[in-house]
Structure formats: structure tokens, C-alpha cells
Amino acid sequence: MVKAKNAASDASDIIIPVMGATGIWEKLCRLNFINKLLEHVGDERRVKVGEALSSCTVDLEDIPLEGLTNRLAHIRGRRVVLVDTPGFDDTLSTDYDILERIAKWLEASHRKGAVLGGVIYLYDMTLKRWGGTARRNMELFTKLCGQASYQKVVLVTSHWGSTSIQAGDAKEQELKNVHWYSLLEGGAKVMRLQCENEASSAGDIVRSLLRQVDERAGHRIAEEVLRIQHELVTRGKSLPETDAAKELRAQLEKMLAAQSKVVDLEAKALAGDEEARRRLQEEEEKLQLLADQVKNLRLTLGQRFAILRRRFFKF
């Protein structure tokens, strides 16, 4: 595994979170992108895929890179830090835990003055359809970023070598016209990780973000942050008060309501069947896990009073 230095330790760092959907295949997409970029800059380090996939953690992994800003006038010599960011709906951790880890890391990096270079969201073109998990992931992603940061987002389509050009083009148009429409309207870009030379293509994608940073170097770029960073640092909100947490809470409450109905129906259908009892117990455990996450995302009475004080008394 790449031994990473804490990205938030240097105020001159330019951070670029690498995100995507959840699951082993999507994690492979992120690791492949990072390794191709390491190859592109002539760095001999590699993320060891087997070690990363067997890990029981879903922590953010930061990978510092040198040399990517050497040809840019205003940010020359500054270090770029890629941040491998776990997706939601992971089997190893709850969505609340993942959101909390992402929020803490981003908050710490902003407090120490690191500049947001942009966000890369990877999408595997071999996925059969845009399902509920992909939709929920994207809804959380947009709340995490906020509309003001959409121009810093690059939606990267990958694995073009595993699909026909015709099918890939059609799917890309669907993504642009339907699922990613609001992001693109707000200034996000779509780029392809070209299968002919993935290392060079990964470099082009990152440099497109760095050129934007260089062009805006005199425009208080330290204040150009993700929505969740602005909420936590500038506005002093607690995590449950953020737009991303509210979105996650709404999603979990819908899932909780749906699963409650399933458990209720199964309970009525039980007639001494041991296997059915076992399945019912599993469903009840899942239900309790969802309920715990929703509880964590609800504001305490003290937090509600704090909001009222800020709103009406300005302190």
C-alpha cells in the first residue's frame, strides 16, 4: 500500500478527492485511476490492490504527488494530494460512519488551509443500469459538494475498452441528459479515461482541474470549498445540520419505513418455520442498524437550541 502523508498537514497542498459508487468493483476503479496517475508522474509507488481490498477499513487514503504543478505559473511547486474516498452503502461500515469520516477529513483539511483542487467522480461504463444505489450515491454526492462547487467536479467515465463504442456513447448521453444533468448545468465536466493510454489520460484529467486552480489563483481560492466544508467550518454547523446529513437521514428513513413493512409481513407469515424465524431476526437486526443511523443523524435538543441562538441572537 502507498504510505501516505496526512494531506491536511500542509497549507500549500491542493487536494483532489477521488470518489465513486460503492462496492469492490468501484473501489478497483478508484485504485486503478490512482495507480495510473502514479505511473504518469513517474512515481514508482503503487496502491497494492489485493491488500487494499482485503482491508476491513473504509478510511480515506491520501496519496501525495509531486511534479503535477511544475508547468503552472501561479501554483508551481505545490503538492497535489489525491484522496481515495469510500462510497456509501458499503458492507463494512454504515453510511453514517462513512459520511462522518469524509466530513471530518474535509473539515480538517479546510481548517489547515489546504486548497480544494476539485473532485473526481469515477463511473464504470460496464455497469448494466443506473440503479437505486447509484442514484442514492449521486444524491449524497451533490449535497456533499453543493451547487457552488459543481464547476470543480469532473465526472470520469472508465472501462471504455470493455464496452462497444455505440453502447458506451448511448450510455454516456443518458448520463449527461438525465442522471448528471443538474451537475453539468452547474459547470461540472465529463471526461473519459481513455483505454488506449490510461496513465496519460489520468494525467490530463487531473491537470484540467489544476489549470482551473492556476487560473483562479488570485481569486481567494482557499474559500472555494465543498458545501459540507463551508457548513462545518464557516457556518459552524454540526454534522447532522449539514445538507448531506439531511439527505442521508431522508434516505435512511425511507429505507427504514420500507423494511419495517417487510418485517411486519414476515412476522404475520411465520408459522413455526425455523428458517423463516432466522430470516426475520436478520431483517430485525438490519432494521435496528438503520434506526441507529437515523438516530445519529437527528439533532439533539442542545443542537436545536444552538441553531435558534444563531438564527435569532447572532451568537
- The amino acid occupying position 84 is D
Q: What is the pLDDT of residue 254?
A: 77
Q: What is the pLDDT of residue 186?
A: 97
49/67 Cα distance (integer angstroms) = 24
Q: Give the structural domain span for 11.
A: 7-234
214/69 Cα distance (integer angstroms) = 9
Contact between 44 and 25 under an 8 Å Cβ cutoff? The reply is no
- What pLDDT tens digit does each residue of the chain (315 aa) get? 454 444 444 778 999 999 987 666 677 888 899 999 999 999 998 887 665 555 545 678 899 999 999 999 999 999 999 999 988 766 667 888 899 999 999 999 999 999 999 999 999 998 877 877 788 889 999 999 999 999 999 999 999 998 899 999 999 999 999 999 999 999 999 999 998 899 999 999 999 999 999 998 877 888 899 999 999 999 999 999 999 999 988 887 777 676 666 666 566 556 656 666 667 677 667 767 766 666 666 644 444 445 444 544 444
Q: Are residues 221 and 261 in the same domain?
A: no
- Strand extents, DSSP E, the chain: 14-20, 61-65, 80-84, 115-116, 119-124, 153-158, 189-192
118/263 Cα distance (integer angstroms) = 43
Q: Are residues 201 and 264 in the same domain?
A: no
> Backbone phi, then psi, for 214, in 5-degree steps?
-65, -40
Q: Are residues 196 and 53 in the same domain?
A: yes
**For residue 239, what are the CA distances in angstroms to 18, 118, 226?**
21, 22, 14
54/104 Cα distance (integer angstroms) = 24
Q: What's the CATH number where 128 sits?
A: 3.40.50.300
Count of beta carbons in the 10 Å neighbourhood of residue 92: 12
> Backbone phi, then psi, for 273, in 5-degree steps?
-85, 115
Number of domains comprising the chain: 2
Domain boundary (234, 249, 274) is at 234
Does residue 146 lie in a domain region?
A: yes
Q: What is the pLDDT of residue 218?
A: 74
Within 8 A by CB and 6+ apart from 251, the residues are: 95, 136, 139, 140
Does residue 225 lie in a domain region?
A: yes
- Which ranges constitute the DSSP H helices of 112-242? 132-145, 165-174, 181-185, 198-215, 227-229
Does residue 257 lie in a domain region?
A: yes
pTM, full prediction: 0.80
**For residue 142, what are the CA distances in angstroms to 36, 139, 219?**
26, 5, 24
Q: Are residues 25 and 82 in the same domain?
A: yes
Count of beta carbons in the 10 Å neighbourhood of residue 59: 13
Domain boundary (180, 206, 234) is at 234
249/244 Cα distance (integer angstroms) = 9
Contact between 226 and 103 under an 8 Å Cβ cutoff? The reply is no
Count Cα atoms within 13 angstroms, Cβ side, for 169. Answer: 3
Domain boundary (180, 213, 234) is at 234
Q: Are residues 255 and 227 in the same domain?
A: no
Closest CA to 37 of 122, 137, 127, 128: 122
Q: Are residues 145 and 254 in the same domain?
A: no
Q: Are residues 201 and 254 in the same domain?
A: no
Q: Are residues 118 and 244 in the same domain?
A: no
